[in-house]
Structure 1
């Protein structure tokens, strides 16, 4: 191949800086990285992106759509099986597994992330552990929920997990009793939250927390290590997502990013070496953290050298990554996620009733969107 590969990632230092810095460090593997906003990362059709780029950074729920359009290369046909087995055992939580579907690996887990709790300790004091603690805190200081875009549904799903039920059953998205409890909790918290926060995505919420004093706590927001740097005047402390009972499972929905290679890409040994290096211990424990990135290897999440500059961000949220719920990955899930988030947002902001919202969620889920077992559809 002549010239540079075309790559697409998302426009935030965590998603951009390390990839740009690494590009060109290996002869023959230069990648010219374009960026799109977080909303594009979350919802742009993968087939469209894959027609224009050789390497794309994606979120695991897009895999069903990608497989339906046959636009990604199976990485087990590109990388050494031993390397793939090693990465499968070394990455944090289900990050590697989330990119494995239908017997193939479709992306490399560059970055591990999940929903965690974010606190301005100087405003909130002690960080809540249980959902009942969050409610009590919201009666004293401003507490916000992440409900913009798809995050309304993801927050709802994580609360259901904490209540003891993973979404995606055979008779509905969640049992009526579980869904009602989750929506009641969200509605109660949103009613006391600063009104403008319902329009902020996770980046917007965290930017708001480090640049102002209007939000003291967010119990569920995707963790961004950049906002926990000890050099910040108003730093955010990140801890595990809340549980519903002492010692119970933390409720969180896996995020993170994977590096996928598209069908249009002319794969060379140099490109394989470059992408594989991004998952090496040298890159994950040193290069990526030094360039605003968030690694995926468990060894990096436990290393003092990675944790010390960010106030223990990784150690303090590893349990949430390990126990995180992995979203469905069938063709049609992203459409469901988008529509269902609108339903949840309408309920928690007072636009519709909890009963009506619960019924509509099940209707969306069951009407031709839910796949048969083992299917990517």
Structure 2
């Protein structure tokens, strides 16, 4: 059986899956998998219903789950795997990696890859310790070039993470309220300060572009929140310098690191003709051997907690996993209702525009709250 599959176009998203598929023999193993790639922007925003209609396996981000369920595009894991399988992945996956794919009392994707926003810096460009708190980040920005990740949906994601650090994880205390006025204005004030000081050359860069810029060009000393890509911690390309990763900033030194969960899962579409051989391959991808050895060796970023603590894995990748695991364990999980992705895109554009034109922050918060409320289901749908 030959399957058509889609992931995203970056070594972290593609290389391990492609290498695993290359080791399959259709006659011997009973399956073959052809992995296609889409750009990061497509991964973040392309309608999941369209992808489910064209592919058997889809690598997706957890906020797409509500849309996929509404469109009846994915098969729940409970219909494919045993309760023991799912319980094992829940136990072994770091942070909310598996829980983020639970919606409407079912799980909709396998937690292949774990990631969240963390702090990235060029340690060789800093004359002082890496900051721990947001106050320290703001202070550093007066003396060294500090960049925010604002392109695409990331202006919104940065806002959500900072609100989490300041004690109001969005839409958690009240699913119908994005953030309180007090926390929202505090976050926007700080974002405006940092955005006003950041180098213009990186304003339009997505996380991959921003980290690549940091590795190649000595112009950005620190980005306080950007999705972690282990590849940049130990670069192999000529002329690139290592990026040091650390936990996301906190409001206080002993507070919660504010970060919005990313990572990827593998969903099985309803068009897929599922076989035992396919399920065994998917189990292997989430197993200890693949997650601690094969996936890291092929530029991937594992989801198992023991892989993040593994000494050999950390030695190979500059301590990336050990240095950021606490942030991942505490990561904020976004809403997953069917209208969330559209809200995220609109909110990011609103925030970027407001930072550029000086819109008063209370007015921006009011617009964000109304747009969020409009994205919510009428009643009764789980987040």
Q: What interval of TM-score do these two structures reach, taking the shorter chain for normalisation?
A: over 0.9
Give the Cα–Cα distance (whole angstroms) in 2 for the partners of residues 227 and 238 of structure 1: 9
Q: Are the equivalent residues in 2 in contact too, given 1:67–1:376 (CA < 8 A)?
A: no
Contact conserved, 2:235 with 2:241, CA < 8 A, in 1?
no
CA displacement at 1:31 relative to structure 2: 0.9
Tell me, in whole angstroms, the C-alpha distance in 2 between the residues paired with 1:231 and 1:313: 15
Equivalent position of 1:10 in the other structure: 8
- Partners of 1:117 and 1:285 in 2: how far apart? 24
Over the aligned positions, Cα root-mean-square deviation in angstroms equals 1.4
Q: What is the rounded CA distance, in whole Å, between the counterparts of 1:9 and 1:322 in structure 2?
A: 25
2:321 aligned with 1:323: no
* Residues 32 and 356 (structure 1), Cα distance of their counterparts in 2 relative to 1, 3 Å cut: same
State the Cα distance separating 1:349 from its structure 2 match.
2.3
Which of 64, 67, 86 aligns to 1:65? It is 67
Instruction: Provide, for residues 61-92 of structure 1, a one-character-per-residue CA deviation record: whole Å limited to 9, x for no partner.
Output: 00000000001011111112211110111000
Cα shift readout 1:129-168 (whole Å, capped 9, x = no counterpart):
0001101111111100001010000000100001100111
Is the 8 Å Cα contact of residues 162 and 259 (structure 2) preserved in structure 1? yes
Among 200, 207, 221, the alignment partner of 1:202 is 207
**Which deviates more from structure 2 when the two are superposed, residues 315-324 or residues 99-108?**
99-108
1:370 aligns with 2:376: yes
State the partner residue of 1:228. 233
**Contact 2:43/2:61 (<8 A) preserved:** yes
Comparing 226-235 with 83-92, which one deviates more in the overlay?
Answer: 226-235
Partner Cα distance (2:9, 2:67) in 1 = 22
Report the alpha carbon displacement of residue 268 of structure 1 after superposing the two structures with TM.
0.5
**Is 2:136 the counterpart of 1:133?**
yes
Secondary structure at 2:258 match in 1:
coil
1:55 has 2:57 as partner: yes
CA distance in 1, matches of 2:288, 2:154: 32
Q: Which consecutive aligned stretches of 4+ in structure 1 deviate over 4 angstroms post-superposition?
A: 230-233
| Matching residue of 1:281 | 288
User: In structure 2, what is the equivalent of residue 109 of structure 1?
Assistant: 111
TM-score normalised by the chain length of structure 1: 0.96
Over residues 21-76 of structure 1, what are the superposed CA-to-partner deviations in whole Å (9 max), with x where a residue is unaligned?
00043422311000000000000000000100000000000000000000101111
Counterpart for residue 154 of structure 2? 151
Residue in structure 1 matched with residue 355 of structure 2 by the alignment: 348
The verdict on how the C-alpha distance between 1:53 and 1:363 changes in structure 2, with shifts beyond 3 A counting, is: same
Question: Any residues of structure 2 matched to 1:170-209 within 5 Å, and which?
Answer: 170=175, 172-209=177-214
Task: Decide which of 206, 211, 217 is 2:216's aligned counterpart.
Answer: 211
State the alpha-carbon separation in 2 of the partners of residues 373 and 82 from structure 1: 33
Separation in 1 of the partners of 2:19 and 2:232?
A: 21
The gaps in structure 1 that reach 5 residues or longer are: none
Separation in structure 2 between the aligned mates of residue 171 and residue 104 of structure 1, nearest angstrom: 22
1:167 aligns with 2:170: yes
User: Following the alignment from structure 2 to structure 1, what is the Cα–Cα distance between the partners of residues 175 and 294?
Assistant: 44
What is the CA-CA distance between 1:325 and the residue it aligns to? 0.5
Equivalent residue of 2:54, what SS? coil
SS in structure 2 of the partner of residue 199 of structure 1: coil
CA distance in 1, matches of 2:288, 2:261: 22
Partner of 1:360: 367
**1:177 Cα deviation (Å)?**
1.1
Secondary structure at the residue paired with 1:144?
coil
1:230–1:309 contact (8 Å) kept in structure 2:
no
What secondary structure sits across from 2:184 in the alignment? helix
Q: Aligned residue for 1:75? A: 77
The equivalent position to 1:31 in structure 2, one of 30, 33, 37, is 33
Shift, 1:103, TM fit = 1.6
